[in-house]
Amino acid sequence: MWSDVAVKAWLVGLLLFAVARPDLPQFEGKAMTGRALTYPLAAIVVPLAWWWRGRSGRRRRGPYPFELDTLLVLPFLIDVAGNAANLYDTIGWWDDANHFVNWAILVAAFGLLLVRLPVGRWEAFGLAVGFGCVTAVLWEFGEYFTFIRNSPELRTAYTDTLGDLALGLAGSVLAASLTVTLLWPARPGRG
| pLDDT single digits (tens) 159-183 | 888 989 999 999 999 999 999 999 8
Quote the longest CA-to-CA distance of the chain. Answer: 58
| pLDDT single digits (tens) 79-88 | 999 999 999 9
For residue 77, give the nearest of 106, 48, 51 by alpha carbon: 106
Q: Give the side-chain half-sphere CA count within 13 A for 171.
A: 28
| pLDDT single digits (tens) 1-51 | 899 999 999 999 999 999 999 999 999 888 888 899 999 999 999 999 888
For residue 6, give the nearest of 74, 96, 85, 104 by alpha carbon: 74
Residue type for 77, please? L
Sorted by where each begins, the domain ranges of the chain are 2-180
